[in-house]
Structure 1
Amino acid sequence: MSRLGQKISEIRKRKGLSQEELAAKASINLRTLQRVEKGETEPRGYTLKSICQALQVDVEEVYDYNKEADRSVLLLLHLSVLSYFMVPLGNIIFPLIIWITQKRKVLHVQEQGIKLLNFQITWSLITYPLIVVYGIMKILHYPGANYAITAYLVLYFLNVVYVVRAVLLIYKESDKNLYPLALNIIKP
């Protein structure tokens, strides 16, 4: 089986589609899809584009060109989130830099970077207003100010937990969803 055919087969199975369903969605012959997945032929042009559209993936995700597998880059991508301990919005800035520079060079950086950045943007949109609310409540000497900072600290801790969980899953080479649902700001 060719690497391209194997990748198409993996994505199809991950999406819960049978070969018949994918062939119908892609408007291609079932036998063509079977030959592609077995590695007997390489899809070109229209066929590859149709398969990718039916799978709702980018051609680059299926066609890894010459990307290398480098787990250290993936680990650095996820661990860079912890830079928000020292730099405001570092949880977005540093992963964004790594994602932009490595997404075409290293396997899985493209898709994991998108999920990570969407989660961190969502997390920031939720937590940073809590700091503002806390500041306003503190200035106004409002007695409930501690609730806002407590909520922020709990969310802060959860973010660290998600980062540690993602790193452990990468070490185990697990393909689980590393982050929960988030706003879909950066699209594949």
Structure 2
Amino acid sequence: MNSIGKKISDARKLKGFTQEELAELSKVNLRTIQRIENNNNEPRGKTLSLICDVLQIDKADLQGLNQLSENKTMTSYIINGIFLILLNIIIVGTIGYLTLPIEANTNSKVGAILLSFFIPFFIVHFTQKIRATKRLLKFGIGFAAYLLLLMCVQGFIGGCRIGFRSWIFSCILIFIGVLFYGEILYKPEK
């Protein structure tokens, strides 16, 4: 429930009104009251005034709750964005560290391949409700930036030579593939 719908629902219950009684007293349609309390609609203008008058709540308090809710949403978007950027940098940095140095041995490259499978597998496990394309955009964008940077710095031919020799392309393909098709691999118990 959004904060306004919850506040109206709580105030109505505190006053001992049913939704039908609130609708009748406030001269607002019952379906509108239900939509407001179920977070399908947000009351504005006259509807909000009528409901607040019956429930004896201050309209300004409810509008302040809405503004606070919008601020929390913006803050959570910023925090989530920073987290996703850092997570992408850590994932790309870890796999790049294991594969790119010239002295990297086969063990570290195999470790990078394993991480390229298991990291996105766990991401899929914890983000099952997200569509595959959205998951790919959130957690795979670091590799796109990495490939773009590699091609800009080394040129296309040099970037391809480094990518194939170091196994980084293999790791990226595995990571992206598991991230996108991971739901097929992961079948939770029912």
Q: TM-score, normalised by structure 1?
A: 0.34
Q: TM-score, normalised by structure 2?
A: 0.34
